[in-house]
Amino acid sequence: MLLADGGHGDCVLCRGDTVHASKAKGISPMIDFISAGFDLRDFSAADKIVGKAAGLLFVHAGVKTVYAKILSRSAQIIFKNYGIDYTFGTLADFIKNRAGDGLCIMEQAVADVNEPSKAFIILKNTLDSLRKKVTDQR
Residues 45, 12, 38, 121: is their CA dihedral positive or negative? positive
The answer to whether 100 touches 80, Cβ cutoff 8 Å, is no
How many distinct helices (H) and strands (E) make up the chain? 5, 5
Asked which of 13-17, 98-102, 120-124 is least confident by mean pLDDT, the reply is 98-102
In a domain, 6, yes or no: no
| Domains identified in the chain, total number | 1
Q: How many CA atoms lie within 13 A of 40 on its CB side?
A: 29
In a domain, 119, yes or no: yes
Please state, in angstroms and rounded to a whole number, the distance separating the CA atoms of residues 93 and 86. Answer: 17
In a domain, 82, yes or no: yes
Evaluate if residue 8 carries a pLDDT over 70: no
Instruction: Specify the pTM.
Output: 0.92
pLDDT, position 4: 46
- For residue 90, what is the domain's CATH number? 3.40.140.30
Q: pLDDT tens digits for 83-119?
A: 999 999 999 999 999 899 999 999 999 999 999 999 9
Domain that holds residue 108: 11-137
pLDDT, position 64: 98
In a domain, 3, yes or no: no
In a domain, 121, yes or no: yes
Please state, in angstroms and rounded to a whole number, the distance separating the CA atoms of residues 55 and 121. Answer: 14
Q: What angle do CA 75, 81, 84 make, to 5 degrees?
A: 70
In a domain, 1, yes or no: no
Evaluate if residue 2 carries a pLDDT over 90: no
In a domain, 2, yes or no: no
